[in-house]
């Protein structure tokens, strides 16, 4: 069963064509990676699928009722948004919104703090921790809700190797536990490590959708070949 299907997706912003038309079906349990040059529409595609951007045309269909899909998906931005609360409270907040008991929310938050090595900073204001710690916290805050669908926009941009490795391990674990992931990245190496399928986008259009194994050997678009080679795409 596909968790979501996009049909004839078109997005315009201030009268300018930004995205589409896009048609895609996302595999359940997939790590789907969106690749493309800067300004190609990677973030716009993620936001359109998640529902942040208003569609000019087309529709997104979920494998459940649309009202149910809202509570089953999460989005983590490239620049993490921290609540003006402690690290611990940032983790319990989404659970309390979902009517999880205080005792259970506290227990799950404590477990996640241990997983992301932030137990010692649990009472520190989240706005004061480092960039890498914020990214791990934002991801943990999304995963603590056990989402069926997770959207990630450049989750490891500007992070060091150690933090990138920790985040990639978290993503692989959550897919094993049933979460489907769609993420953008500028890092071809990361795409090779994580992706099951690649979505290559250029100038707002999906030029190819291929398995990662096939894409990196024989991409089906000329621009994708140039991108892999590190050439400039005009």
Task: Give which of 219, 195, 191 is closest to 207, Cα–Cα.
Answer: 219
User: Is the Cβ–Cβ distance between 165 and 117 less than 8 Å?
Assistant: no
pLDDT in tens, 172-193: 998 998 899 999 999 999 999 9
Task: Give which of 192, 188, 180 is closest to 50, Cα–Cα.
Answer: 180
pLDDT in tens, 189-222: 999 999 999 999 999 999 999 999 999 999 999 9
Assigned domain for 99 exists = no
Assigned domain for 169 exists = yes
Assigned domain for 17 exists = yes
Read off the CATH number of the domain in which 155 is found: 3.40.50.300
Residue ranges in the chain assigned as alpha helix (H): 42-50, 66-69, 87-97, 102-115, 131-143, 161-176, 188-194, 212-215, 222-229
Q: How many residues does the chain have?
A: 234
Assigned domain for 35 exists = yes
Domain count, the chain: 1
Which residues have CB under 8 Å from 227's CB, separation 6+? 35, 36, 37, 200, 202, 233
Task: Give which of 98, 1, 3 is closest to 49, Cα–Cα.
Answer: 3
Assigned domain for 122 exists = no
Q: Is the pLDDT of residue 113 over 60?
A: yes
* Domain that residue 171 falls in: 4-82+148-229
């Amino acid at each position: 069963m596909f968790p979501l299907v996009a049909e004839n997706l078109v997005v315009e912003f201030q009268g300018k064509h930004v995205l589409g038309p896009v048609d895609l079906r996302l595999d359940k349990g997939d790590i789907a990676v969106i690749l493309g040059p800067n300004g190609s529409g990677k973030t716009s595609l993620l936001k359109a699928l998640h529902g942040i951007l208003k569609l000019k045309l087309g529709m997104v269909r979920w494998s459940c009722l649309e009202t149910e899909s809202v509570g089953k998906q999460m989005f983590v931005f490239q620049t993490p948004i921290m609540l003006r609360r402690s690290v611990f409270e940032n983790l319990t907040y989404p659970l309390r919104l979902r009517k999880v008991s205080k005792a259970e929310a506290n227990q799950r938050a404590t477990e996640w703090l241990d997983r992301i090595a932030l137990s010692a900073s649990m009472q520190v204001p989240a706005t004061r921790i480092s960039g890498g710690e914020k990214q791990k916290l934002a991801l943990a805050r999304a995963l603590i809700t056990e989402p069926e669908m997770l959207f990630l926009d450049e989750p490891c941009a500007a992070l060091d190797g150690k933090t990138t490795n920790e985040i990639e391990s978290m993503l692989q674990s959550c897919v094993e536990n049933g979460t489907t992931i769609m993420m953008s990245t500028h890092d071809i190496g990361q795409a090779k490590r994580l992706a099951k399928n690649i979505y290559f986008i250029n100038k707002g259009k999906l030029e190819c959708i291929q398995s990662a194994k096939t894409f990196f050997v024989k991409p089906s678009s000329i621009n994708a070949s140039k991108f892999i080679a590190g050439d400039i795409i005009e």
